Amino acid sequence: MNKKNIHLNKFIAVIGLGKAGLPLAAVIANSGLTVIGIDVDKKRCDKINNGINPIPEEEGLDDLVKNFGGKTLVASTTYQDAEKCCFFIVIVPLFIDENNKPDFTILENAFRNIGKLLKKGDCIVLETTVPPGTTETIVKNWLEEESKLHVGEFYLAYSPERIMTGSSISRLKEFPKIIGGVDQISGKIAFETYKQFIGHLSLVSTARVAEFVKVIEGCYRYTNIALANELFKISEEINVDFYEARKYANHQYCDIHLPSTGVGGHCIPVYPWFLIKEMENRNKQDITTMLHSSHCVNDGMIDFWAQRIIDYCKNIEKPLMQVKICIKGISFRKGVKSVYRSRNLALAKLLKEKGLKVYVYDDLFTRDEIEKMNLTFSTPDIVDVVFDSFSLELTNQEIR
Amino acid sequence: MNKKNIHLNKFIAVIGLGKAGLPLAAVIANSGLTVIGIDVDKKRCDKINNGINPIPEEEGLDDLVKNFGGKTLVASTTYQDAEKCCFFIVIVPLFIDENNKPDFTILENAFRNIGKLLKKGDCIVLETTVPPGTTETIVKNWLEEESKLHVGEFYLAYSPERIMTGSSISRLKEFPKIIGGVDQISGKIAFETYKQFIGHLSLVSTARVAEFVKVIEGCYRYTNIALANELFKISEEINVDFYEARKYANHQYCDIHLPSTGVGGHCIPVYPWFLIKEMENRNKQDITTMLHSSHCVNDGMIDFWAQRIIDYCKNIEKPLMQVKICIKGISFRKGVKSVYRSRNLALAKLLKEKGLKVYVYDDLFTRDEIEKMNLTFSTPDIVDVVFDSFSLELTNQEIR
């Protein structure tokens, strides 16, 4: 990298100012660099430029947006505004479709737009969690097609986000982060720039390894949640207190996870599919036994809980179909206002399908928002049975 | 417990002086108590009584057996010699049969023999890993039948061994250990006695919880080894260095295990069957998906490695059936002289069945011992391909 590039790298473009992108953009600004943030959401951009943090649950973000928003952290809906940047970070969502296949539409759009701005010597880093191999194949192709340049003339690397909504700022400062290039020089250039704002950074051999690292972390979580769910069902069957057993089973060599209604959200339940689908493409589906089984166990937990709730309702002195059941908590995770792949929501709908009187309550959602999901709102205090989906306890309030 | 009992508890019987029992017996003697050890192996008993440690690989055990053997650690093949004891610890093996069902023969024999000696106020603790519920059901029945006493007149508890051959002494001193009674008073009495020689001890609510704790620890290991094996196969398929990825994936919230030829030995591959078989008995086999899948993946690893070895052999300038292959390491774990459920041994036999020229080498086994297993001995230096089953590397030595 020549001196000119090092200088220009002071202007960093961050594409995507969502829950992952904005904290990163703010941390970069805080390190003394200038950030041009690009996001499709005009209102969000305006807020940021006025120093107002659109993600209040993110600890420490208020101050950063207040200090840098509209100054060295400028948000825009127009890619053209990032044309003077020589370093681009892409951190936009990747969803999977109804067949559990990754849908690259948003990602492709971001990279094609960057490709149009790309100059010789520029460096692009992807942070979105993707199937291993994505950066060096389709991402590279999109950029090369739009820019008419080749890797070697520009640099391309991958560095998975490892944030956790609520503590993303401290994660970026302290948690181990990795970066790998599609070639050696790309990795090195991306690493040197990232070192300016990331506290604990390691350079790995390739972008593909970095992609795989992020996906297998998710697979570890997903499989271990499935194991916890299975052991929980067994403990119920043999009349053992799972939580007591778990407390004493866990030590430095054992980390049994917590049981749940399943796994929701954009991350953990999605990443195993990146590997499952890739192996299907190669006609090697027989080597994804554990990931497949984990999916069956986790997604099957709503049937287990539905049965438990029904069994519990039989203790109430009312005909089963008259018992008022409240599912408390329908977001996919406590404290995050999203029902993406929420298993608690799926549980509420399952009970409703079975003809039961189901009500829903969640601190984060209004009556209106819940009714738009085709569910009935109720506060937990006026029902017969409350299922607190975040604590997994059945509470018979017996209020008539 | 009255004063007489507290006095008599200075004489502790330990039934089973194997890899788990002898270190425990030695640690008890080291705490100032007197141990009567019972074992079927006369030679082993003689060694111990002469101060000679029969398990030299166990760190720190030499000194303890030398100091206490034949003095306050007396070994005998006769249960009658333990008749003055009021506290009995059973730590004998439990195997599973060819249908993966636990075979309680050895355990039953030990408890029926203790039952014959049992006096009012005595306390018995089981340490062998068993299916949850064993202590409070069949163990209690054996003791009651033989002694004509009932629980309440004697005390019964369970405390799973958590040793690791090689570092058992330090494990007993430092590693968290738990104990639970078949009733509250049993738990309390057993706990008070154990506290005299166990460094880090917790009393749990029941014997059954303590049994479950030990089994689920094993299930965690077994499932996570299966996940590592699966992710390893996927990494090979997509051309990623698994070990590099694992290094960076693992952190405080992620513990991806190591791939292997499968899981052998008396512990980890056996414990999941305790739960699988119990659920089968209850017609609930559908809730052991993860454990079943883990078994399929782990036991299937020898097919994966056999194929890898065959593919590798094709690089050698010889007809496939002429390539000399050495499997280095056939014990189920490095440093432990046992082939119980060894998957490396199963791999050697599988390759032999396929008609390949297979040789076996293991530091711990003589030529004679290997030939008795119906395998051919060879040192690794005179073959074409060495499969080091403990490091999982293929080394083409190309020595002709």
- In this prediction, residue A391 carries a pLDDT of 74
CATH number of residue B226's parent domain: 1.10.1040.10
* Mutate which: A135, A136, A213, vs B, most B CBs within 10 A: A213
ipTM over 0.90: yes
Best B220, B255, B268, B296 member to test A by mutation, with max A CBs in 10 Å, is B220
Interchain contact A267–B (C-beta under 8 A): no
* Angstrom distance (rounded) from CA B96 to CA B340: 11
Separation between Cα atoms, residue B11 and residue B145, nearest integer Å: 24
- Each residue's pLDDT tens digit, A107-141: 999 999 999 999 999 999 999 999 999 999 999 99
Tell me the mean pLDDT in the region A40-55.
97
Binding-face residues of A in 30-59 toward B, CB within 8 A: none
Per-residue exposure over A297-332, b if at least 16 CB sit within 10 Å of its own CB, e if not? bbbbbbebbbeebbebbeebeeeeeebbbbbbbbbb
pLDDT in tens, B159-210: 999 988 889 999 999 999 999 999 999 999 999 999 999 999 999 999 999 9
Categorize the per-residue pLDDT at B337 as very low, low, confident or very high, splitting at 50, 70 and 90.
confident
B396 has a pLDDT exceeding 80 = no
CB contact (8 A) between residue B238 and residue A178: no
Q: Per the CB < 8 Å rule, is B234 touching A275?
A: yes
Burial of A236 (0-12, 13-18, 19+ CB in 10 A): middle
Our CA-based measurement puts residue B380 at a distance from the nearest CA of chain A, in whole angstroms, of 31
When pLDDT is averaged across residues B118-122 and rounded to a whole number, the result is: 97
Instruction: Count residue pairs from A and B with Cβ separation < 8 A.
Output: 159
- pLDDT one-digit tens code per residue, B212-224: 999 999 999 999 9
User: Which of A284, A299, A314 represents a domain boundary (last residue)?
Assistant: A299
Sign (positive/negative) of CA torsion B261, B267, B268, B274?
positive
Confidence check: pLDDT of B123 > 70: yes
Per-residue model confidence (pLDDT) at position B3: 42
Residue A45 Cα to chain centre, angstroms: 21
Any B CB within 8 A of A290 CB: yes
pTM, full prediction: 0.94
- DSSP assignment of A330-356, as one string? -SSBTTB---TT-HHHHHHHHHHHTT-
Per-residue model confidence (pLDDT) at position A6: 44
pLDDT of residue B8: 45
**pLDDT tens across B65-77, in order?**
999 999 999 999 9
Residue A74 has pLDDT above 60, yes or no: yes
Relative orientation angle of helices B207-237 and A271-281, to the nearest 10 degrees: 50
Q: Are residues A119 and A13 in the same domain?
A: yes
User: CB distance B288–A205 less than 8 Å?
Assistant: no
Could you tell me which residue, B53 or A393, shows the higher pLDDT? B53
Determine the Cα–Cα distance for residues B177 and B162; give it in Å rounded to an integer: 7
User: Looking at residue B391, what is its pLDDT?
Assistant: 74
Do A305 and A164 lie in one domain? The reply is no
Contact residues, chain A, for B291 at CB < 8 Å: 230
Lowest average pLDDT, out of A112-126, A299-313, A378-392, goes to A378-392
Say which residue, B91 or B4, is predicted with more confidence: B91
In angstroms, what separates the C-alpha of B248 from chain A's closest C-alpha? 7
Cβ-based contacts of A129 with chain B (< 8 Å) = none
Chain B (205-264) residues lying within 8 Å, Cβ to Cβ, of chain A: 205-206, 208-210, 212-214, 216-217, 219-221, 223-224, 226-227, 230-231, 233-235, 237-241, 244-246, 248-249, 251, 253-256
Q: Looking at residue A206, what is its pLDDT?
A: 98
Residue A219: the pLDDT is 98
- B320 and B369 in one domain? yes
The contacts of residue A54 (CB under 8 Å, 6+ apart) are A22, A44, A47, A48
CA distance A322 to A384: 9
For residue range A58-72, list pLDDT tens digits in order: 999 999 999 999 999
- Band of pLDDT at residue A55, cut at 50, 70 and 90: very high
User: Active-site positions of A?
Assistant: 214, 267
If you average pLDDT over residues B343-349, what whole number do you get? Answer: 96
- When CB atoms are compared, the residue of B217, B254, B288 closest to A249 is B217
Comparing CA positions, the residue from A162, A14, A235, A87 lying closest to residue B254 is A162
Q: Which residues of chain B have a CB within 8 Å of the CB of A216?
A: 231, 245-246, 249, 256
Neighbours of B239 (CB within 10 A): 12
Structure confidence at residue A398 (pLDDT): 38
Please, which residues have CB within 8 angstroms of residue A88's CB and are 6 or more apart in sequence? A12, A13, A15, A82, A114, A122, A123, A124, A125
Are residue B192 and residue B120 in the same domain, yes or no?
Answer: yes
Residues of A in contact with B206 (CB under 8 A): 240
Looking at the structure, tell me whether residues B246 and B315 fall in a common domain: no
* pLDDT at position B23 over 90: yes
User: How confident is the model at residue B164, as a pLDDT?
Assistant: 85
Of A248, A251, A289, the CB nearest to B293: A289
B245: tokens are 């990825």
Q: Residues A7, A133: one domain?
A: yes
At residue B347, does pLDDT exceed 50? Answer: yes
Task: Point out the domain boundary residue: B176, B205, B234.
Answer: B205
pLDDT at B4: 42
Count up the domains in chain B and report the number.
3
Interval A369-385 mean pLDDT: 93
Could you tell me the residue range of the domain that residue B316 belongs to?
A: 301-396
Contact (CB<8Å) A255/B251: no
Each residue's pLDDT tens digit, A308-356: 999 999 888 999 999 999 999 999 988 888 999 999 999 999 999 999 9
Read off the pLDDT band of A399 (50, 70, 90): very low
Stretch A387-397: mean pLDDT, rounded?
Answer: 67
Q: Assess whether pLDDT exceeds 60 at residue B5.
A: no
Residue A334's pLDDT is 87
* Domain match, A262 and A390 both: no
**C-alpha distance from A290 to closest chain B C-alpha (Å):** 6
* Whether A173 and A194 share a structural domain: yes
Residue B394 pLDDT level (bands cut at 50, 70, 90)? low
Tell me if chain A has a CB within 8 Å of the CB of B279: yes
Answer yes or no: do B269 and B377 share one domain: no
Nearest residue in chain B measured CA to CA from A256: B220
Nearest CB among B220, B289, B297 relative to A254 is that of B220
Least CA distance to A240: which residue of chain B?
Answer: B209
Nearest chain A residue to B215, by CA: A249
Say if the Cβ atoms of B220 and A256 lie within 8 Å.
Answer: yes
Which residues of B are tagged catalytic? Answer: 214, 267
* Residue of B130, B211, B231, B275 best to disrupt the A interface, most CBs of A under 10 A: B231
Judge whether residue B104 has pLDDT over 80: yes
Asked if residues A74 and A51 have their Cβ atoms less than 8 Å apart, the reply is no
Give pLDDT tens digits for A266-276.
899 999 999 99
Say how far apart CA B386 and CA B393 lie, in whole Å.
Answer: 8
Locate the chain B residue with the closest alpha carbon to A211.
B245
User: What span, in angstroms and rounded, lies between the C-alpha atoms of A184 and A182?
Assistant: 7
**Residue from the list B202, B234, B282 with its beta carbon closest to the beta carbon of A279:** B234
pLDDT number for residue B398: 38
User: Per the structure block, which two tokens stand in for A347?
Assistant: 């549980």
Instruction: Verify that B109 and B244 share a domain, yes or no.
Output: no
Instruction: State whether B231 and A216 contact (CB < 8 Å).
Output: yes
What pLDDT, on a 0 to 100 scale, did the predictor assign at position A396? 45
Please answer yes or no on whether A234 and B202 come within 8 Å at the CB atom: no
pLDDT range class, residue A394, cuts 50, 70, 90: low
Q: Are residues B150 and B14 in the same domain?
A: yes
Sort out which chain A residues have CB atoms less than 8 A from B292's CB and list them.
Answer: 293
Residue B221, pLDDT score: 97
Closest CA in chain B for residue A278: B238
B85: domain CATH number is 3.40.50.720
CA distance B302 to B297: 10
pLDDT confidence of residue B335: 83
Q: Cβ separation of A249 and B293 shorter than 8 Å?
A: no
Residue B174 near chain A (CB below 8 Å): no
Average pLDDT, chain A: 93
Nearest residue to B110 (alpha-carbon basis) of B95, B90, B96, B125: B90
Most B CBs within 10 Å, among A159, A164, A214, A238, to test the B interface: A238
Residue A259: its pLDDT value, please? 95
Gap between the Cα atoms of B327 and B316, Å rounded: 17
Q: Which of A210, A248, A275 sits opposite B213 (nearest CB)?
A: A248
Do A349 and A381 fall within a single domain?
A: yes
pLDDT over threshold 50, residue B382: yes
Question: If pLDDT is split at 50, 70 and 90, which confidence band does B397 have?
Answer: very low
Question: How many angstroms separate the CA atoms of B227 and B233, rounded?
Answer: 10
A201 at B interface, C-beta within 8 A: no
What does the alpha-carbon distance between residue B228 and residue B243 come to, in Å, rounded to a whole number? 10
pLDDT of residue A397: 42
Element (H, E) at B339: none
Task: Tell me whether residue B370 is exposed, middle or buried, using C-beta atoms within 10 angstroms of its C-beta: 0 to 12, 13 to 18, 19 or more.
Answer: buried
Q: Which residues of chain B lie closer than 8 angstroms to A204, CB-CB?
A: 244, 248
Q: Inter-chain contact B248–A202, Cβ cutoff 8 Å?
A: yes
Pick the last residue of a domain from A234, A269, A299: A299
Which residue type occupies A325? Answer: I
Tell me whether B200 touches chain A (CB under 8 Å): no
